[in-house]
Amino acid sequence: MLLVFDVGNTSTKIGLLQGRELSRHWDLSTQADRTADEWGIVLEVLFARAGRKFAEVDGAAIACVVPPALAAIERFVRRDLRSEPLVVGPGVHTGMPIRYENPREVGADRIVTAVAAHEEYGAPVIAIDFGTATTFDVVDAAGAYAGGVIAPGVGIATEALFEHASRLPRVEMLRPPRVIGRNTVQSMQSGILYGFAGQVDGIVRRIRQELGAEARVVATGTYAELVSQASETIDAVDPFLALKGLATVYRRNRATGS
C-alpha cells in the first residue's frame, strides 16, 4: 500500500492507496510544529480505526508547501514505516513538462493536482483548487503545465470581510436561497458564493481564450462542491485530485528507478 500526504497551509490530506484505488483518506489541520512522534501516534490511531497496520505500507509520497512540517513527516516515514519517502519537488520526475519561467516556484501541490487532472480528464484541462488560496493550474493540449492563476481563497475573503467590516458577522459558507439576500447573513453568503463563482467563470473563459481550446475544468478543495453549484464552467468535482496525483508521481518515479 502507498501512503500519501498533501500538506497545505490550512489542512493536511492523507490517503492510503491499494494499487490505484484510494481505500482510506483523512483530513487533518496542518500543524507545522507536529513532531515525528506525534505523527506516529496520530497515524497509528487512524490506521487502527481503518483496520490497517504500518507493516502493510510499502511506500510514501509527500507534497508539502509548509517547510517546517516536512522534516517530521519524513522522519516518521523512515522510522515507523521503514521506507524512504518520495518528496515532490525540483528534480522529481513528474512526467509533465513545466512551462513556468522558474519551475522551482511552482508549489508541489499545484504540480500533483495538474498531473492528476491530466491523467483523469485528459488535455487541455484546468484544475481549480479551492484551498487557502484559489489556484487555477492549466495543462495545455500537449500535456505540459502551462502556468496558472493564484487568487485569494474563499476562507480568506470571508474572514477579511468579518474582520474589516465591524457590523458584519462571521457567517457559515452555505448557498443562500436566492441571489438577493433578505437579511445580512444571506446577503454575505450570496456575495461570497456568487462572487467566487463569477470570478471562476471569468478567469476560465479568459484561459480558454488564450489556449484557443475548450479546456475541461475540474475543481477540488474545501469549497469545490459549493462553488461548482453556482458556476457555469466547472465540469467536474474531484475532492481527491492531489492524492491521486501524488500516487501517479510516485509510480512514475518508481518506474524510472528515481
Q: Is 108 annotated as a binding residue?
A: yes
Closest of 47, 56, 49, 22 to residue 248, by C-alpha: 22
Q: Is 40 annotated as a binding residue?
A: no
Rg (CA), the chain: 19
Q: Is 230 annotated as a binding residue?
A: no
230, 175 Cβ separation under 8 angstroms = yes
Q: Is 220 annotated as a binding residue?
A: no
Phi, psi dihedrals of residue 199, rounded to the nearest 5°: -60, -45
Q: Is 137 annotated as a binding residue?
A: no
Q: Is 11 annotated as a binding residue?
A: yes
Q: Is 102 annotated as a binding residue?
A: no
Q: Is 201 annotated as a binding residue?
A: no
Q: Is 12 annotated as a binding residue?
A: yes
Q: Is 238 annotated as a binding residue?
A: no
Q: Is 91 annotated as a binding residue?
A: no
For residue 136, count other CB atoms closer than 10 A to its CB: 20
29, 155 Cβ separation under 8 angstroms = no
In a 10 Å sphere around its CB, with 0-12 CB exposed, 13-18 middle and 19+ buried, how is residue 243 labelled? buried
Out of 109, 137, 140, 238, pick the active-site residue: 109
What the block records as the C-alpha cell of 207 is 484561459
Output DSSP code: residue 167. Answer: T
| Residue 201 a catalytic site member | no
CA angle in degrees (0–180, nearest 5) for 163-204-7: 55
Mutual angle of helices 154-164 and 184-211, in 10-degree steps: 140
Q: Is 80 annotated as a binding residue?
A: no
Pairing relationship of beta strands 216-221 and 125-130 according to DSSP bridges: parallel
Active site residues: 109
Residues of the binding site for ATP: 6-13, 132
Residues of the binding site for K(+): 129
Residues of the binding site: 6-13, 100, 107-110, 129, 132, 184
Residues of the binding site for substrate: 100, 107-110, 184
